[in-house]
Amino acid sequence: MSLILPVATAQAHGILIDSEMRCITLNVYSSLEGVGLTAAVAQALADHGIACNMVAAYHHDHAFVPASEAGRALGILQALQTSAST
């Protein structure tokens, strides 16, 4: 079973946590049927050795990255955004 919930909630219910992740919400309105965004984000992070779990949602996609890598991941994604808009 996989759950996405705050650490405090998991702890309150006695759920063991294997890893703590941080959510980076992509502020791009994307279709659930769109092709390429998830791959581009995951590849950019993978190129820098950062694990990523993508969750596609109705209006935004979310990248879950290890808590210890969140700052670096955000910088990589901001650079990807800048390069995509030029």
pLDDT digits (tens, 9 = 90+) for 36-76: 788 899 999 999 999 999 998 877 889 999 999 999 999 99
Looking at domain 20-84, its CATH class is alpha beta
CA–CA separation, 86 and 83 (whole Å): 5
For 51-60, write each residue's pLDDT tens digit. 999 998 877 8
Q: What is the value of pTM for the model shown?
A: 0.83
Q: What percent of the chain has pLDDT over 90?
A: 55
